[in-house]
Amino acid sequence: MTTSQILGQAAGWTLLHFIWQGILIAISLKIALRFLRSHSAGARYIASCAALVVMLAAPVITFSHLVRDADSFNAKDRLQGAATAANERAGAGAQLNDAGQSKLLSQSASRSLLSQENASALRRIEDQLNRVAPYILLVWLAGVVLLFVRFISSWRGTCALKREVGPSLGRWQAILDQLARRVRVSRPVRLCESALVEVPTVVGWLRPLILFPAEALTGLEPKQLRALLAHELAHIRRYDYLINMLQALVEILLFYHPAVWWVSRQVRVEREHACDDLALDLCNGDAVVYARALLSVEEMRVGVRGRALALAADGGSLIARIRRIVAPKPNRTSPLAAASVSIALLIAVGAVNLLLLKGTQAKAVSHSSLMNLAQAQTGKAYQAMSKDEQTAFIAGKARDIARRMSQTDYEFTPAFEAEIHKSVDYYVRRIGNNQGERPGKGDAALVFERGQTFAPALIRIFKARNISTLIGLYIPLIESEYVNLETPNSMGALGMFQFLPQTGERYGLTKQELTDVEKSADAAARYIADSLGLFHNDSMKEALALLSYNRGRRKVADDLQLVIDDENRRCSICALTAARSRLDKDFQSENVHYVPLFFAAAIIGENPQAFGLNLQPLSSYETPNR
């Protein structure tokens, strides 16, 4: 997969993961609020803000984990490093108990395979989600754009409030300055009349401005005005305007989750409660005066909801706020206690998220890590492994190749893995056989060495077509062993990719261009892309595309109709291989071996030192971007 595809799929999965993460965070906040129900509103406000921060951080952490996970399947140097380390330990004379290691490897492999079979249903669901993840991302982007437009509209409305203010209220400005000193607000705060607001409102934080409607100045008693001014000063002292901006950001980015809106609502409610407490303190605890002021504000309120970035004195349920104001006050919680609860919330939720993500990541790479560990522990090359060790090694590496090629987990049957094992042994028998360059019989080490020459160009061409570079690297090995054949075979195929003239013509190749490596590679990439499109509903579409390259798309489609049913659908290539006797002679004699040969070639080419080849993985020869 290309970088853009990896990022897109990771973003889609991040949005899906946040469904359970958001629920977990909301539940944690609910527990924290219950614990803090007898404490001050300030403590509950801190806990709610902490939950909001965790909600914003969770997708970022998840996205980074998913990208790192995807990159790990393309990190060729890790495979090489594991093999090199094993060889170095073996060369230095580090010997382990082979019988014990063999038993450990066999048991580990058996547990891994059993776990895979038990999780097959989950894998099918995961494959389906992989397909829809990009569409989820598009829907999310559309929602973000719409909400961002609304945000900009609200911001412009707030800016209009600051521009179109009435005269300063000299008498009340002096009272405001006095109250500001009492609540330790050091920034200058202006108080102005505005015809655009219908309730007292705070705008800005660097140069805060309190706007009062004309009705409030004439319809409220001085004590009530003083109480409302104290409430707005509480917002300024607490930097609530900035928190409101953070809320707007979280609501835009995570708009699809009801838990986000619930947590954001808790922040707003507890913010108003905390400001109510401070206003009451400045009003000498006269709850009746303050409650009447709030009732008057509610009567004035008509339509301030459109200016979401301004802070108005109407947040939360009016009845709930008044009941709380006139009720006996709980004991105040110390800042240390509130901070402790918030930190505990952050740590608990963060730890659970990380453990779950780590578990997902570990599960995804379990096969490759198991095989790398086995090789490092035994210090053995493939040729020195027991049959059981070879079987486990090949099973893990085949799944690793499939995962890197398709970003999904193939559910190979044991019978199909046995076919890959036979193909691996076919190449292994040819390594160092002193048969030189004989086609199909010569030294396989020379074949993989020759592949190094063409690898950079093949990687570049297939990557440009958004096709797995592994497909581009190992199709020509099976077709021609990286020899640009200029003499047609019995079917008339030419070149490194063995195009038939009629097929090449469909993909824009002249007969002379069939032996042009780069042009034929590009045509092969386009052929594979068309095959992937045809079999896009199959979880093993890459394997079917490979088979089509050898057999033809129409025949493969007919084979699938004949063989596939609900029981064998999860591994279509396995089903076709198992049903070879029901298919034509061409399939039985040639086509049935093509995909196992591909996986065998890729296993050796991506793990050369495990087979005694002093080479780098072919996929590591990518030319750096200029």
Question: Which secondary-structure segment (H or E) carries 455?
Answer: helix 444-464
Report whether pLDDT(90) > 70. Answer: no
| 90 vs 67: CA distance, rounded Å | 34
Say how many domains are in the chain: 2
441 and 311 in a common domain: no
Same domain, 160 and 296: yes
In this model, does residue 460 exceed pLDDT 70?
Answer: yes
Residues 297-340: tens digit of each pLDDT: 777 664 444 444 444 444 456 667 777 776 656 555 555 555 56
> Where is the domain boundary, 270, 301, 335?
335
The answer on 399 and 325 residing in a single domain is: no
| Global confidence as pTM | 0.52
Is 293 part of a structural domain of the chain?
yes
Q: Would you tell me how many other CB atoms lie within 10 Å of the CB of residue 132?
A: 12
Domain boundary among 300, 335, 370: 335
Calculate the average pLDDT of the chain: 79
Is 379 or 17 the better-scoring residue by pLDDT? 17
Q: How far apart are CA 427 and CA 243, in angstroms?
A: 64
């060495």: which residue's tokens?
449
> Residue 165 in contact with residue 265, Cβ under 8 Å?
no
Predicted local confidence at residue 452, as pLDDT: 93
264 close to 52: Cβ distance less than 8 angstroms = yes
Same domain? 290 vs 387: no
Q: How far does CA 321 lie from the centroid of its chain?
A: 41
List strands edge to edge, sheet with 209-212: 190-193, 209-212, 201-203, 311-312
Q: Is residue 444 one of the residues assigned to a domain?
A: yes
Is 456 a domain residue?
A: yes
C-alpha 492: how far from its chain's center? 47
CA-atom Rg of the chain in angstroms? 34
- Let me know if residue 114 belongs to a domain: no
Same domain, 557 and 503: yes
463 and 580 fall within a common domain: yes
Residues 387 and 315 in one domain: no
| Domain shared by 508 and 428, yes or no | yes
Q: How far apart are the first and last CA of the chain?
A: 20
| In-domain check, residue 85 | no
Residues 392 and 280 in one domain: no
- Interval 164-212: pLDDT, tens: 666 666 777 787 887 888 878 878 888 887 777 777 778 877 778 788 7
- 3-state DSSP percent of the chain in helix, strand and coil, to 5: 70, 5, 25
* CATH number, domain with residue 591: 1.10.530.10
- What pLDDT score was predicted for residue 327? 67
Q: Alpha-carbon distance 235 to 249, whole Å?
A: 19
Domain presence at residue 191: yes
212: its two tokens:
């009062």
Segment among 109-123, 499-513, 562-576 with least mean pLDDT? 109-123
Indicate whether 269 and 392 sit together in one domain. Answer: no
Residue type (1 letter), 15: L
pLDDT digits (tens, 9 = 90+) for 107-147: 444 444 444 444 445 555 666 666 777 788 889 999 999 99
The pLDDT-based confidence of 532 (bands split at 50, 70, 90) is very high
Burial class (CB in 10 A: 0-12, 13-18, 19+), 550: buried
3-state secondary structure (DSSP) of residue 93? coil
User: Lowest-confidence range among 63-77, 405-419, 434-448, 500-514?
Assistant: 63-77
pLDDT at 419: 95
Is there a single domain that holds both residue 263 and residue 405? no
477 and 546 share one domain? yes
Amino acid at residue number 134:
P
Report the distance separating Cα 103 and Cα 70, nearest Å: 31
- Residue 584 included in any domain: yes
Of 269, 304, 335, which one is at a domain's C-terminal end? 335
Place of tokens 């002379």: 512
What pLDDT score does 118 carry? 45
Least confident range from 120-134, 357-371, 467-481: namely 357-371
Residue-number span of the structural domain to which 206 is assigned: 153-335
Q: Is 91 among the domain residues?
A: no
